[in-house]
Structure 1
Amino acid sequence: MISCSGPLGKTNDSSDAPGTVAVSRKKAKKIAVEYYGLTQVSDIQLRHLKEQEIKLLTEKQKKFTPIYYVISGSKKGEKYLVFISSQNEDDHFISKQ
């Protein structure tokens, strides 16, 4: 966390600044493994969803920030992508590659 002292000794806390993630990388990986059952994780990216990935979102999800953890992995020999919102750990979905 970055904290700066401003005028009159006020502290500027950037922890809730726009673009600050609310879900940690560790938590996102835990969801991919425990909720979706990935047995192997090969890559974790925090990024803006691509146009074709945005099409996978529900109408409700489309109203929120399209910045997601995109986790590549596999289970039972098949490859999957797990998408977890950077702002809400309850907002996630899976897609078979």
Structure 2
Amino acid sequence: MSNVSFSAYAALGSVQPTKTPEKPAQAEEGKSSGLAEGFSTFKAALQDAEQAAMQTAVSGADPHAMVEALAQAELVLDAAVTVRDKVVEAYQELLRMPV
């Protein structure tokens, strides 16, 4: 059997949060932005679902764990799509504003 690895979230691994200049009073070491945290959560949920699906398919692991991981990944994906839709809607509203 060949050892082929598929990764649906390879592009997320290369996403790095942009560094914005912070005000000196608000600069705290070790704090990440909410967006970077969201990407990390999204990536982790997809990784967990992929691992659970592979373990179930290959070694016959617990199918309930796979269903749970896939449901969690679906919830995270739905949240990401909702946020994306809101961002696109806000951008379109900005374009409609008279100058």
More helix as a share of residues: 2
TM over 0.5: no
* TM-score, reference length from structure 2: 0.27
Give the structure with higher Rg (CA): 2
More strand as a share of residues: 1
* TM-score, reference length from structure 1: 0.27
